[in-house]
Amino acid sequence: MGRTKRSRPFFTSKVKDMQIFFGLNATGVLDSDTLEIMRSPRCGVPDVEEYSHLQGTRWNKNILTYRIGRYTRDLHRNTVDSLVKSAFSVWASASSLTFVRSHTRTADIMVEFVTYEHGDLYPFDGPRGTLAHAFGPGPGVGGDTHFDDAEYWTAGETGMNLLVVAAHEFGHALGLKHSRNPDSLMYPTYRASRSANLLSIEDVGSLLPQIMQNKCASDTTFDAVSTVGDATFFFRDRYLWIKHNEHDDIKEGLITNFMPKIETSIDAAFWVPRRSAAYLIHESMFWTVKGSLVRGKPRALSHFGFPAWVQDVDAAVHIVKTGRTLFFMHDIYWSYNENRRVMDFGYPKYISEDFPGVNTTINAAVYKEGFIYFFDGPQVYKYDYAQKQVVGIEKANSWLGC
């Protein structure tokens, strides 16, 4: 009896955890809604403690091999090959990852159709219930993905759709955990009728930290760079590094981790000290950020007085001494008077004419102590604004302490 009493609170706690995850009333009791969820076909990545879209481990390379070992008899081999390839393509199209099929005995991700006990301590349970499971990145079984061959696998809406289940499991093989969002491909229960685009914004955003190259890689580039108060912000894709000017430590993560309202990449950014405000631009819209808080809704880029044909910019930088913000696009730039809040007359002008030595499309720009630093891919041009000349070339990764 004592053992039963000790285990009941544990069981109740686990039921509550599951109910919270799925947005049910957290009673700890196996009511009808809870039982319905439990009976739903689902992924077998174990236990409620794992239910999170927080990232786990990741692969240390961008080209991954896969091999299909044992096949299912439900589908022709060529169909299985095609669906597995398509499932990997779902993730490849949203990242810099490349998946290459291997015909040798070894591969990063081994794909197999098996039943019941199959040698990995996570036996399958027959039809319905657990459909498949996958191991996170790593050597040995890391990345390996198993499908329960007791299920009826199909390419359509009858049975279990192999493309949908495989795409979900390969997310785990890339290091993603489960999501609480029913629209996410990484939601744990199976839904056959998904949109043609399997990935949600959350899926793509969760993947980025898994595939980010080492910040000290020689080809490190940034989409936007800006001082913000006593720190410098470096944007790339939907990722952000924050380096405090007085310290060596760097905070990093998804942009949404720091500014939840911003679910896109940032194309350009600049800081106006006298307003203590940063402006973050994505395509034809921009956000105003004070402190770490996004103020209000995004506004149109036309607010700055651009002609209607300007729908995005490559880089922006505020020059404190002149009170001007410079906007760069392809081979031209504009000058905006922050005091009068109007575009200066006579613009746009050619970058190469007014910034000799900078004969390139600019990815990002930042102003510090009389110099404009122009980021061009992995290189940074140090430009003396008073002398009108390039005085040095640095590596972009040096800005992150590399």
Q: Which residues are catalytic?
A: 169
Q: Do residues 224 and 262 lie in contact, with contact meaning Cβ atoms separated by under 8 Å?
A: no
Q: Do residues 26 and 19 lie in contact, with contact meaning Cβ atoms separated by under 8 Å?
A: yes
37/44 Cα distance (integer angstroms): 14
Hey, which bits of 174-308 come out as E strands?
224-228, 231-236, 239-244, 250-254, 268-272, 277-282, 285-290, 293-300
- Cα atoms found within 13 Å of the Cα of residue 327, Cβ hemisphere only: 26
Phi-psi region at 357: left, alpha or beta (left = phi > 0; alpha = psi -120 to 50)? left
Give the CA angle between residues 184, 185, 191 to the nearest 5°. Answer: 100
Number of other residues whose CB lies within 10 A of the CB of residue 65 = 18
Nearest to 201 by CA among 163, 237, 235, 175: 237
